Structure 1
Amino acid sequence: MSYAENPRLSVCIEWINLGFVERGRTPREIIEKSIRHHLAILSLSNTVIVLEDLGVDRSRIAVHNWVQKADLQPADGESSDRVAVDQKVIRVNDEQCWLYAAVDPETNRILHSRLFPTYTIPIARGFLTELAEKHDVEDALFLVGDADDLIGALRREDYSYLVEQHGFRNSVEHVFREVEHQISSFSNCFSHVDPPTAEAWLQAHTVWWNHA
């Protein structure tokens, strides 16, 4: 399936705030399309090719800056009965980082995600604290795999949890597979950037994922 045929690109784009656009060099609809395509399925280089097909000459840096300046952040205020949580190692340049994610398995929406330089019980507790500050998960049943740091954090935070490898927890694995696919496709996405920049892209991708 080509990018033009991908049904997930035919979605409402009102969630992209273009308040940062000050000059009229590039039409707003072109900027919106670029951000949406890059977060969905295209590398920066391929997004530039799409713009060229539309008669617009912009660089990869321009597209990257549009995504960063849009400062897309996932919405707060969800209430979930079950929350699937996990962590996964990914590479940013030549460094290993750990992506923590919490997903509502009934809606497949990403509730919270963060990048950390390592994985420990204190880091996992901090991640759960941030999650609880954003969403109503106090009475939720947490679904977790064999991640000792998350299990330890859930115990210390006194959350109800269930260790399972399949079932509802597959939702968070699906999210990780999607992120890994994006990273492996974007040879220039997590190269030559620092972890905060990579995390900004992941937060923006989360917003797209939850609206797609």
Structure 2
Amino acid sequence: MAEIARLTGHREWIDLDFVERERTPESAMALGIQSHVAGLSLSNTVDLLDSLGVQRSRKAVHDWVQKADLQPESGKSPNQIALDETVIRINDQQFWLYAAADPQSNELLHVRLFATATTALTEIFLRELCQKHDVESAVFLVDGAKHLQTALSRAGLRFQIHHHGNRNAVERIFRELKRRTSSFSNCFSHVEPETAENWVQSFARWLNATN
């Protein structure tokens, strides 16, 4: 039960509207969702609930996280956006995690998993980001990746090339994500890509709530 202390705090960010005829108390469900998203394995989350007198299976906890469909909140108006990508393994394949973060608040604005990293997929990511947030006047901070720069130019969005400074915000978030998934060896096993993406988005919602 490593780092149980980090699992304390409010859980109002967890929307349990999906619950229908669920025999588990909502407080226990919220704790289970928070614990797994914060980095506990399904087995350790089940053990934690069992210590509180709530006996549920790993599948039950997994289903709670998936059904909650947690996402970073919309409607932000950042001045700067750190944009980057990193590799996440799902089973024996590599996927690219795209992330946009506000370096001033350290909040994740949008995250997606793609099978590869291309200009076309970056454009899809940016369109979704623009639909969720007011980013037209923001300055995007990127590294030297040409597909990121090309996609931003095509979208008419301003960007600056930064290798350090405020762009480090999204890199810090990537490090936190990889540390949190250490129980998965930074690899999602025996899951579909959609399931892994849902977990990552739930993680983003949790991380924003703890800032």
Q: TM-score, normalised by structure 2?
A: 0.94
Q: CA deviation at 1:124?
A: 0.7
Aligned pairs (5 A) from 1:124-143? 124-143=122-141
Letter in 2 for 1:117: A
Over aligned residues, Cα RMSD in angstroms? 1.7
Which one is further off, 184-193 or 139-148? 184-193
Aligned twin of 1:56 = 54
Distance 1:94 1:41 in 2: 21
Q: 3-state DSSP class of the match of 1:126?
A: helix
Letter in 1 for 2:83: V
Answer whether contact 1:43 1:188 (CA < 8 A) is retained: no
Letter in 2 for 1:150: L
Distance 1:74 1:164 in 2: 25
Q: CA deviation at 1:188?
A: 9.6
Answer whether contact 2:140 2:159 (CA < 8 A) is retained: yes
**Structure 1, unaligned stretches of length 5 or more?**
none
Answer whether contact 1:44 1:186 (CA < 8 A) is retained: no
Aligned twin of 2:153 = 155
Task: Count residues in correspondence.
Answer: 210
Q: 3-state DSSP class of the match of 1:151?
A: helix
Aligned twin of 1:92 = 90
Q: TM-score, normalised by structure 1?
A: 0.93
Task: Say yes or no: does 1:23 pair with 2:25.
Answer: no
Aligned pairs (5 A) from 1:51-130? 51-130=49-128
Identical aligned residues as a percent = 53
**Structure 2, unaligned stretches of length 5 or more?**
none
Aligned twin of 1:38 = 36
Q: 3-state DSSP class of the match of 1:162?
A: strand
Distance 2:147 2:22 in 1: 49
Distance 1:20 1:172 in 2: 31
Distance 1:82 1:24 in 2: 42
Deviation sequence 1:10-52 (CA, Å, 0-9, x none): 3321121212222352111111111011111311111111112
Task: Provide closer, same or farther for how the CA distance between residues 24 and 129 of structure 1 changes in structure 2, counting only shifts above 3 A.
Answer: closer
Answer whether contact 2:178 2:186 (CA < 8 A) is retained: no
Distance 1:36 1:107 in 2: 21
Letter in 1 for 2:96: W
Distance 2:41 2:151 in 1: 36
Task: Provide closer, same or farther for how the CA distance between residues 86 and 189 of structure 1 changes in structure 2, counting only shifts above 3 A.
Answer: closer
Letter in 1 for 2:62: H
Letter in 1 for 2:119: I
Distance 1:146 1:90 in 2: 20
Deviation sequence 1:68-106 (CA, Å, 0-9, x none): 111112211000110000011111111111100000000
Letter in 1 for 2:63: N
Q: 3-state DSSP class of the match of 1:48?
A: helix
Q: CA deviation at 1:192?
A: 0.5
Distance 1:194 1:112 in 2: 20
Distance 1:60 1:2 in 2: 18
Q: CA deviation at 1:165?
A: 1.1
Answer whether contact 1:84 1:168 (CA < 8 A) is retained: yes
